[in-house]
């Protein structure tokens, strides 16, 4: 494979991984981006009250107020559910770290794509910037590209990971 394409796939994988990992960090600590956007910084209690580390729900705001379309009530019923919160946060962390490290690429891209499709369906057909196609679907397509490629081998630990006995025995862990 062309060296420039390998580098591009590696950078794409690292970029998507960072998007997921950053979302995890922001929801965990309430860093003032998507979570706690309009808060004042208090040095004594730096993390905002809505941060997951302070008992806030990382899914409540989106699932309660931002969902729309025919599946809205299903998603609203999940708002603030601790099991949903844990699955969401573990998904963000696992997908983010897997992609950034170049390990568990098959699982990371599959579950990352699944999370993106669910977020798209929750905002069904009326995305914020385009009536049919938004970044969640574009990212899902890119996850498919990473799934089909050996992107973990480029700018990551994929070569080493693929040669471990565990991955040799269980190819799905590639």
- Model pTM above 0.85: yes
- Rounded CA separation 148/110 (Å): 11
Q: What is the pLDDT of residues 27-44, one digit of tens each?
A: 998 887 777 665 555 544
Residue (of 174, 147, 146, 140) closest to 160 by Cα position: 174
Residue (of 129, 138, 131) closest to 19 by Cα position: 138
Phi, psi torsion values for 130, nearest 5 degrees: -155, 140
Q: What is the pLDDT of residues 69-103, one digit of tens each?
A: 889 999 999 999 999 999 999 999 999 999 999 99
- Rounded CA separation 167/152 (Å): 13
Domain ranges of the chain: 3-173
Nearest 5°: the CA angle 159, 142, 98 is 40
């Amino acid at each position: 494979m062309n060296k420039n394409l390998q580098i591009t796939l590696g950078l794409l994988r690292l970029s998507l991984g960072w998007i997921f990992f950053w979302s995890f960090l922001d929801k965990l600590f309430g860093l003032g981006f998507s979570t706690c956007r309009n808060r004042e910084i208090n040095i004594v209690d730096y993390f905002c009250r809505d941060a997951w580390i302070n008992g806030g729900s990382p899914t409540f705001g989106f699932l309660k107020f931002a969902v729309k379309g025919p599946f809205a009530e299903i998603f609203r019923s999940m708002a603030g559910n601790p099991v949903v919160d844990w699955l969401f946060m573990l998904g963000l962390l696992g997908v983010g770290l897997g992609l950034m490290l170049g390990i568990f690429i098959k699982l990371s891209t599959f579950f990352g794509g699944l999370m993106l499709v669910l977020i798209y369906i929750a905002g069904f057909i009326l995305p914020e910037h385009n009536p049919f196609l938004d970044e969640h679907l574009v990212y899902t397509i890119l996850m498919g590209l990473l799934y089909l490629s050996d992107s973990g081998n480029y700018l990551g630990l994929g070569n080493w990971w693929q040669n471990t006995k565990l991955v040799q025995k269980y190819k799905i862990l590639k």
